[in-house]
């Protein structure tokens, strides 16, 4: 059964608010509340994106950051760079 995109969006928004609250009251570098809120953002975002796609065939312009890619970069492994599809549309005029 597909989830309603509005319900998924509300869950995603709540996860962002929980992350803000956990970050503001962080107790040390590896605070488990911040880590849990971080994971919740990823999970609820994926659920929202899936619901949005299932209902309307649409996606967001957002991408989930994968920390393991940084580890691969540090190891010197080759990786494929994600290209910004809107990059060509941006033109800045100098005055």
pTM for the model: 0.68
Per the structure block, which two tokens stand in for 87? 């990059």
Q: Which of the 8 DSSP states describes residue 89?
A: G
pLDDT in tens, 38-63: 999 999 999 999 999 999 999 999 99
C-alpha 51/C-alpha 65 separation (Å) is: 20
End-to-end CA distance of the chain: 55
pLDDT in tens, 4-48: 999 999 999 999 999 999 999 999 999 999 999 999 999 999 999
């Amino acid at each position: 059964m597909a989830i309603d995109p509005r319900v998924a969006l509300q869950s995603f928004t709540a996860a962002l608010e929980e992350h803000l609250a956990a970050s503001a009251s962080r107790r040390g570098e590896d605070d488990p509340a911040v880590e849990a809120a971080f994971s919740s953002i990823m999970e609820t975002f994926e659920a929202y994106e899936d619901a949005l796609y299932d209902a309307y065939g649409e996606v967001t312009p957002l991408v989930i950051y994968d920390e393991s890619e940084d580890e691969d970069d540090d190891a010197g492994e080759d990786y494929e760079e994600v290209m910004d599809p809107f990059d060509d549309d941006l033109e800045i005029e100098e005055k």
